[in-house]
Structure 1
């Protein structure tokens, strides 16, 4: 077994941008399903409440006036959710590639989990200053969903990057 000393140092290495985007899209879908299941089954809330909250990021607080199904709001929420998922996946993939965190599945999963936890803190304690309606979603379930998001992005990126080599 070869020992790699300092193998996780910064190196100017670009990620596979297409793989990063695909990974973000897929992980965004996983996160969305987890959020819908949690809000509906566990919290007993409307399945469309989260869609209204996400749509309000781009549409403004008027989108929060109702939690009923609205095709425009759900469409805007999907677009917003996927764009953010892809953007965050690109950041994570950049970190994975630049620091060689793709050396093993364990390292890539750990990197994804840490990224997901940091993303949760960024979203629900940083960005909530601008989008206050997300404060009510703080909690262990949202942390877990973000950690899973990070792990899905990282593992998909790792696997798909190997396939494309």
Structure 2
């Protein structure tokens, strides 16, 4: 019996961009539901706080002075959140495809988890120089939610990607 090991070195392989965008969009929905559930049910806080924090990226810091539900804030937050989800889904696929990290579910989930953790560090430690209000979201639940985002994006991408056509 011969053992075949998958090599994970770089090779010129283009991701399935449509699958990547849908994966990022879907994983963004998973992350949003996790954040909403955490703030509303477990942390006992304001369920609209995360929406205001995200919307403030596009609107201004003044939105952080408001409280409660606002349709405008919610729409802007959703647009920003899903746009970033799509961008990060595409970025993850751009890393996974050339390194053959989509060769198995275990490899894809591991790559997604590491990507999500890196994303958390960049967002909540790197970007806080620009968006200082994200400091208050630094926590283990937020880190875990981002790991789950990465895993969800990787898994959805793995299930949706079409095999590359021969050239």
- TM value normalised by structure 2: 0.94
Per-residue CA distance 1:54-110 (angstroms, 9 max, x = gap): 000011101111121111110000000000000011000111101000111100000
Aligned to 2:56, what secondary structure does the other structure show? helix
Hey, what does 1:97 align to over in structure 2? 97
Distance 2:96 2:14 in 1: 10
What residue is the counterpart of 1:125 in the other structure? 125
**Paired residues, number:** 164
Residue matched to 2:62: 62
1:42 lines up with 2:28 in the alignment: no
Instruction: Calculate the TM-score normalised by the size of structure 1.
Output: 0.95
Residues 96-155 of structure 1: CA deviation (Å, up to 9, x unaligned): 101000111100000000000000000000011111111111111001000000000001
Q: Name the residue aligned to 2:33.
A: 33
| Distance across 1 between alignment mates of 2:67 and 2:154 | 33
CA distance in 2, matches of 1:42, 1:130: 29
* Pairing 1:1-165 to 2, within 5 Å after superposition: 1-4=2-5, 7-162=7-162
Q: Structure 2 vs 1, CA of residues 103 and 157 (structure 1 numbering), >3 Å: closer, same or farther?
A: same
Between the aligned partners of 1:35 and 1:125, the Cα distance in structure 2 is 18
Q: Which has the higher contact order (CA 8 A, sep 6+)?
A: 2
Deviation of 1:163 (Å):
8.0
Structure 2 unaligned blocks of 5 or more = none
The alpha-carbon deviation at position 42 of structure 1 amounts to 1.5
Runs of 4+ residues deviating >2 angstroms: 1-5, 162-165
Q: Give RMSD over aligned pairs.
A: 1.5
Structure 1 gap segments, 5+ residues each: none
Instruction: Please give the secondary structure, in 2, of the residue aligned with 1:8.
Output: coil
